[in-house]
Amino acid sequence: MSALGAATPSHESLQGIGAARRQLLQVTGVEQVGPYTLLRVDRGGLAPGAPGQFFMLEAPGRLLPRPMSLCLAPQDELAFLVDPIGPGTCALCALRSGDGIHVLGPLGNGFDLDVARPLLVGGGIGIAPLPYLAQALGGAPAILGFRSELHAEAARLLPEAEVVVEPRLVTELVPDEPIDVLACGPEPMLEAIRARFPDAQLACEAPMACGYGACYGCVVEIDGTLQRLCLAGPVLRGTA
C-alpha cells in the first residue's frame, strides 16, 4: 500500500516541464498492431521517463501536438501505441520510417512502482502504457480487455496477459484479494476499478494542448476541484 494515503496525485510534487526536452526525432518504424499503430522513434537525447509518463508528439499538419504515454522503450528508441481516431492521430499513423517529428517529454507523474502485489489492468488503447510498466516491474500479471478480436491483436504487446473480448469485461477477471491495481482504459472501466480498489493507480486521459501546465485545457475534477491532469496526473490514485 502506498504511504501517500488519500493524496490525489500518485506523487507528492506536481510535475512541470522539469527534465523534459523537445527534439526533432526520426521515425524508425511504423507497425500495424490490430487497428492500432506502434510508432517507433529514435530516442535522441530524450529520457524515457517512468511508466505512465507521457510525451507530446507533433502531429504533422496539425497546430497542436498529441499526448501519448510511452508504450515501450527499446534500446535507443521510444515507442507509442496510437489509435487513429482523429486528424492528429491519423497523421501520426501515416508517418513513415525516416520522417521527423518533434517530441517533448517525458511529462507528468507516472505509476508508483513501489507495489507489493501488482496487477495490471488495461482496456482498449488504454493498454498503451502497460508493456513498459510490466517491464519496469520485472514482469507482472496483466488482464486486458478489448471490444473485438481485431483490437485484441494488440495483446501481443503483453504476451503473458489474460485477454477478454466484449461482452466479457476485464473487471470480471480481477480477483477480490488484496492487490495493487495499476490500470489504464476507458472511463467506465476505471470507475469500476476505483469502486473496488480505492487505492488503485489509474492512468487517466484528457485532451491536452501543451502537456506542461501552460494551457489549462486538460482540467479534470480531482477532490472536487478542476485541476490540470498534465500536472496532477496522468496517474491518479483511485481515491481522487
Partner 1 sequence: MSVPILNASGCLDAIAAPEVAETLDVFVTKTVTPLPREGNPPPRFAETEVGMLNSIGLQNPGIDAFVEKHLPRLAALSAPVWVSVGGFSADDYSLLCARLDSRDDVAAIELNLSCPNVEEAPETTAELTAAARAATSKTLYAKLSPAAWDVAETARAVADAGADGLTLVNTIRGLALERALVPKLARGAGGYSGPALRPIALACVHACAAAVDLPIVGMGGVSSGRDALDLVAAGASAIGLGTILFSDPFAAVRVRAELSAAAASLGCESPAELRARALEPVTSSKA
Residues in touch with partner 1 (CB under 8 A):
14, 16-17, 22, 56, 58, 62-65, 87-88, 102, 104, 206-207, 209-210, 212-220, 225-226, 231
Given a contact cutoff of 8 angstroms between Cβ atoms, the answer to whether 110 and 19 are in contact is no
Do the strands 66-69 and 36-42 form a parallel or antiparallel pair, or are they unpaired? Answer: unpaired
Q: Which residue has cell 473496488?
A: 196
* Smallest separation (angstroms) from partner 1 to the CB of 15: 8
CB of 220 to partner 1, least distance (A): 7
Q: Which is nearer to partner 1, 16 or 141 (CB)?
A: 16
Q: Give the three cell numbers for residue 105.
A: 517529454
Least distance (Å) between residue 225 CB and partner 1: 7
Alpha helix stretches (DSSP H) within 1-159: 87-93, 130-136, 149-152
Q: For residue 78, how many C-alpha atoms fall within 13 Å in the half-sphere facing its CB?
A: 32
CB of 96 to partner 1, least distance (A): 21
CA-nearest of 40, 226, 18, 33 to 109 is 18
Nearer of residues 18 and 29 to partner 1, judged by Cβ: 18
With respect to partner 1, which residue has the nearer C-beta, 228 or 237? 228
Give the cell for residue 205: 486521459
- Kindly tell me which of 87 and 188 has the beta carbon lying closer to partner 1: 87
